[in-house]
Each structure stands twice: as C-alpha cells, then as structure tokens.
Amino acid sequence: MRIVLVGPPGAGKGTQAAFLAKNLSIPHISTGDLFRANISQGTELGLRAKAFMDAGDLVPDEITIGMAKDRMEQPDAAGGFLLDGFPRNVSQAEALDVMLEESGMKLDAVLDLEVEEDEVVKRIAGRRVCRNESAHVFHVVYAAPKTEGVCDQCGGELYQRGDDSEATVRNRLEVYHTQTEPIIDYYKAQGLLVTIPALGEVADVTKRAMDALQK
Ligand code: AP5
C-alpha cells in the first residue's frame, strides 16, 4: 500500500505511523525525521533545513522533494510506504503524483488525522522524543516513559524538540492552515481522502485507521 498521513502538527501522525507501518509491513517515511537525522549528522542538507525548521516554516521544496524522492527509491519502499509529513503543500503533492506516475504507481489512500487545535497544543507541549535514531515519541502525561527522561525502548535520552516552543508552534499551526490544508481538497478531488477522528486512545485511533484502510 502507498499511504499519505496528513494532519496538524501534534495530531499524532508519527505515533500512528509507527503502528500502521508495522501492521501493514511497509516503511514509515517521515520527512521531519529525515531532516532531524541530517541535522544531527551535520550534513549540508541538515544545515540548509535547520533555520526553516527552527522557525516553524516549511523547508523549501527544492530541498524537500529530492530528499523524499531519494528515500522512496530505496529498495525497502518498492512494495509500498507510509508517508508522514510529505507532501505538505500542493506543489509537493503534484511532484509526488509525477514521481508515482513515472514509476507506474499510485496512492491508495490519504488519511487525514482530525484533532482540535487545543488538543494538539497539549500534545505538543508534553511531547518528549528519544535522541537515538529510532526517535521514539512519548508524552509526559498521555504516554509517560517508565523512567523520566529515558526512552523505554532503547534507554536513549528523551528531549523536547526545539520547534515545540510556544512561539514556533503558533507559526507551525499557521503554516499548516495556509500551506498544508489545501492538499486536503486536492486529495478529496482525487477520491483518496479518508478522515480519521484522532481523539482518544492511541490504539483506538489505529483501529479506526486500519478499519478505514480495509474498506
Ligand atoms: P514534522 O516532524 O513532520 O512535524 P509536524 O508535522 O509538525 O508533526 P509533529 O511531529 O509535530 O507531530 P505528529 O503529528 O507526528 O505527532 P506525534 O505522533 O509526535 O516536521 C517538522 C518540521 O520539518 C516542519 O515544521 C518543517 O520545517 C520541516 N518539514 C517536515 N516535512 C516537510 C515537508 N514535507 N516540506 C517542508 N518542510 C518539512 O504526537 C504528538 C504528541 O502527542 C506525542 O507526545 C504523542 O505521545 C502524543 N499523542 C499521540 N497520539 C495521542 C493520542 N491519541 N492521545 C494522546 N496523546 C497522543
């Protein structure tokens, strides 16, 4: 399956993607995680992306589209993938259509995680992420680690993302409304959009998404 996950910052895309990708045996491709890995490795791409991410702005398409394409062309993605955070504007969605068409492929579904704004603000404020490459995600209240500040899965250090500050989150939400939301209509017009209410327990949201995909 080839699936796109859409939703505002903090909606739970990364959390759901981990479960859905496992259930469907496809790789989880997160452009946010790819940028953060490049930043921590000090690559040129990471250096170019960092200022945009710190401000909560989109990284320019000429950097993002090439990076996403390279990842989708890796052998593990030949049989399908779950995209998290890409595409994020209409020009990225059009570029993805071209990439898929050139390879004789198409998307199966676009899952839109629907959550109210005050809930995403709470989710982001309490989010803690593992510094190791796996980037496991926790929440100080909703998904607390057994030992404060330590990743349950690999023992790595948990940290608060720099772009999770209040001022940056405000801009990320604004960017979501102005630049990303238009892709919802784009995919609705293609008959691919499935809206998933994303409030409630993580496992319940996963079940709603799996049920929708099976239909
Ligand atoms: P990215 O990393 O993609 O950030 P985002 O889209 O803002 O999404 P988040 O990672 O903030 O949230 P999420 O929806 O994954 O939620 P999570 O599962 O962590 O992008 C970061 C930046 O990179 C962008 O701002 C941009 O600069 C750049 N970028 C990335 N892609 C780009 C692109 N295509 N083009 C240009 N620039 C790009 O959950 C959040 C919290 O909630 C966690 O603590 C979790 O434990 C908790 N939680 C999850 N589900 C539930 C639940 N059901 N109930 C209670 N708590 C829950």
Pocket of ligand 1 (CB under 6 A): 7, 9-15, 31-32, 35, 52-53, 56-59, 64, 85-86, 88, 92, 123, 126-127, 137-139, 142-143, 163, 172, 202, 205
Average pLDDT over residues 186-215: 96
Is residue 80 part of an annotated ligand binding site? Answer: no
Paired sense of beta strands 109-114 and 193-197, if any:
parallel
Q: Could you please report the per-residue DSSP string of 76-125?
A: GGTT-EEEES---SHHHHHHHHHHHHHTT----EEEEEE--HHHHHHHHH
3-state secondary structure of 10: coil
Close Cβ partners of 169 (under 8 Å, ≥ 6 residues apart): 9, 10, 56, 121, 124, 163
Q: What is the mean pLDDT of residues 100-107?
A: 94
Pocket test for ligand 1, best of 39, 40, 123 (most atoms within 8 A of CB): 123
pLDDT of residue 185: 97
Reported confidence tier of residue 135, pLDDT bands at 50, 70, 90:
confident
Element (H, E) at 66: helix 61-72
Three-class DSSP category at 4? strand
Tally of domains within the chain: 1
For residue 166, give the CATH number of its domain: 3.40.50.300
Residue type, 103: S
pLDDT grade for 130, boundaries at 50, 70 and 90:
very high
49 pLDDT exceeds 80? yes
Residue 71 among the catalytic residues: no
Of the residues 2, 71, 127, 208, only one is catalytic, namely 127
Contact 31, 64 (CB under 8 A): yes
The count of other CB atoms within 10 Å of the CB of residue 134 is 14
What pLDDT, on the 0 to 100 scale, is given for residue 205?
98
**pTM of structure:** 0.96
Query: Identity (one letter) of the amino acid at 205?
Result: V
pLDDT at residue 133, rounded to an integer: 78
Q: 145 preceded by cis ω (within 30°)?
A: no
Atom of ligand 1 nearest to the CA of 92: 34
161 is known as an active-site residue: yes
| Residue 42 pLDDT greater than 90, yes or no | yes
Inter-CA distances, 127 with 14, 45, 106, 156, Å = 12, 25, 34, 15
167 band by pLDDT with thresholds 50, 70 and 90: confident
- The confidence score (pLDDT) of residue 27 equals 97
DSSP of 144-203: --SSTTB-TTT-PBEE--GGGSHHHHHHHHHHIIIIITHHHHHHHHTT-EEEEE--S-HH
Residue 22 phi, psi (nearest 5): -65, -50
CA of 98 to the centre of ligand 1 (A): 26
- According to the model, what pLDDT value does residue 215 have? 84
Distance (Å, rounded) from C-alpha 132 to C-alpha 7?
25
pLDDT at 28: 96
Q: Quote the domain boundaries for residue 187.
A: 2-214
How many whole angstroms separate alpha carbon 138 and alpha carbon 150? 10
| pLDDT at residue number 129 | 93
Distance 102 CA to ligand 1 centre (A): 29
pLDDT at 134: 76
Q: What are the pLDDT digits (tens) for 6-28? A: 999 999 999 999 999 999 999 99
